[in-house]
Amino acid sequence: MKLSPKFWMQAASFISCETRADWMRAMEAELGAIETLEGRKTFAAGCFQAALYDFTRSRRGLSIMARGGGAVLALLMSGYVFGVALKWIGAAETAAMGMLIAGLSLYYAVCAALLWASLRRLQIFAISGFGAAVCGHIYFRLLAPQWESLSPEFLQAVSLEMAGLMTGFFIAGAFLLRLYDPKDSQC
Amino acid sequence: MKRERAPSKSTRLVLQALLSGPDYGYGLMKTTGLKSGTLYPILMRLTDRGFLTSQWLEPETQGRPPRQSYRLTGAGRTYVTGVSDAGPVADIKGGASA
């Protein structure tokens, strides 16, 4: 599929920061000076490459990549945990545990949405992640052994895993918040 | 003290091309043999560092949009001289090396 110079220039403009608008205008003006269509296509594709390079090095680009990557990971985690929860809910003896895990999958889904929406809102995510880790651990330690069908050792292992995951999210959230500027229009 | 990294071969080509006078982006592409995807990030970086300045110029042909011309600043000239002194500048397409 051959893409037109206009397409490449539009794509380049789309990913460019506001501060690079003058550069985009300069590139478009140069495009008009090129005689052949093939030359214009190559030039425009190069402009997109330049914009992409600039984007990946900018704070805006890093912010979007961090948010996007985090959101995809949280969404995948949510899907996986929900799948596990469905299996557990299906059996009578593990239904209560399954409900809890389903709640966890919902938490991850909310995390994914928050990550994508704004890094500023990640503060809620970071704090709630830590809170959920502590609550989940206490819940499993104090209440879960009452479920006779599950051994205390197993529940303790699960609770530790859950605490580890949540703490991981908390650290990742705090790290992203410290590193990236949520003002997406800035470069 | 922070040591400055030596410029890449492509950056040196651009600097050397601009040493002979201001030029447009497409003109620089033809002179240096660099593609737009390589040239523009270099121009952006050099401008951000204050080595280049740009100016919108009215076109010679009517009906064409104004084009941006690039030239070295005083700091850019000092820099390119230092770079040239540090080692040979790579060949410019169809031209001589410094």
* ipTM rounded to 2 decimals: 0.79
Q: Per-residue pLDDT tens for B23-67? A: 999 999 999 999 999 999 999 999 999 999 999 998 777 778 889
**Best mutation target, A19, A43, A52, to test chain B (most B CBs within 10 A):** A43
Q: Is the pLDDT of residue B70 over 70?
A: yes
* Count of other CB atoms within 10 angstroms of residue B40: 29
CB A111 within 8 A of CB A84: no
In a domain, B14, yes or no: yes
* All residues at 6 or more sequence positions from B81 whose CB lies less than 8 Å from its CB, including other chains: none
Exposure of A136 in the CB half-sphere (CA atoms within 13 A): 25
More confident call, A110 vs A149: A110
Q: Where do runs of H (alpha helix) occur along chain A?
A: 5-15, 21-31, 37-57, 59-90, 95-117, 122-142, 152-179
* Residue A185 pLDDT level (bands cut at 50, 70, 90): very low
In a domain, B28, yes or no: yes
Q: What is the pLDDT of residue A174?
A: 67
Mark out chain B residues that contact chain A at CB-CB < 8 A: 24-26, 29, 35-41, 44, 54, 64-68
Cβ distance B36 to A49 less than 8 Å, yes or no, reads yes
Instruction: Report the C-alpha gap between B86 and B88 in whole angstroms.
Output: 7
In a domain, B89, yes or no: no
Assign residue B26 the CATH number of its domain. Answer: 1.10.10.10
In a domain, B62, yes or no: yes
In a domain, B24, yes or no: yes
Which domain range does residue B34 map to? Answer: 9-84
In a domain, B96, yes or no: no
In a domain, B4, yes or no: no
In a domain, B3, yes or no: no
What is the pTM for the complete model shown? 0.61
Total tally of structural domains belonging to chain B: 1
Contacts of B64 in chain A (CB under 8 A): 29, 32-33
* Residue A168 pLDDT level (bands cut at 50, 70, 90): confident
